[in-house]
Amino acid sequence: MDNGTANYRRFLDGDDQSFAQIVKEYKDCLTLYLNGYVGNIFVAEELMEETFFKLIVRKPKFNGKSSFKTWLYAIARNIALDYLKCQKNTTLSINDYENQLIEELTVERVYLIKEQKVDLYNAMKSLSPEYRQVLFLVYFEDFTNTQAAAVMKKSKRQIENLIYRAKVSLKKKLESEGFVYEKL
């Protein structure tokens, strides 16, 4: 049983401190995952909060068929999909978009410089959302292919193919910018 599972069970039994531990452990990475999905760090933060709010209010049952992290990210993905469906007809003015982009880049860069992954992350921005998502889950969050498949609602074989294509695409992007990564 992982920490998330144990903390969630304690939370369901009435221990509010265990929920604080869940938030502390997963909030940053969940926000970055959602940002890769929706393309806006501020919206990603709101969706991360909505994910945790859903856990507090609805207290969905965790059946243990996957890891707690996989289950949490699947909930977040569904919330992001609902958000994206609602946003299809919404548009921003050019000035709002520029300001939002500048603020988003500032927040992202501070975090990524700390983690020393700026170059890789920026190259990943040019990838399709599906490629970014699978690479983030598998390489940044250490999900297994099976866990990533559960979050993305794909088969394990589809995830393996998606990872291969995403790595090839990322390698081409990095090489075009003058980087050579042997481990790709």
Please give the CATH number for the structural domain made up of 127-184.
Answer: 1.10.10.10
pLDDT value, residue 43: 92
- pLDDT, position 116: 47
Return the amino acid letter for 168.
Answer: V
Give the 3-state secondary structure of residue 182. Answer: coil
pLDDT on residue 184: 41
In this predicted structure, what is the pLDDT of residue 87?
78
Q: In which residue ranges of the chain is pLDDT below 50?
A: 115-116, 182-184
pLDDT of residue 4: 86
Backbone angles phi, psi at 15, to 5 degrees: -90, 100
List the chain domain ranges. Answer: 3-116, 127-184
User: Residue 176 has what pLDDT?
Assistant: 82
Q: Select 3-116's CATH number: 1.10.1740.10, 3.40.50.300, 3.60.15.10, 1.10.3720.10.
A: 1.10.1740.10
Q: How far apart are CA 36 and CA 78, in angstroms?
A: 14
Q: Specify the pLDDT at position 110.
A: 57
The model scores a pTM over 0.75: no
* Residue 37 Cα distances to 5, 23, 54, 132, angstroms: 25, 20, 19, 8
SS (H, E, C) 79-137: HHHHHHHHHCCCCCCHHHHHHHHHHHHHHHHHHHHHHCCHHHHHHHHCCCHHHHHHHHH
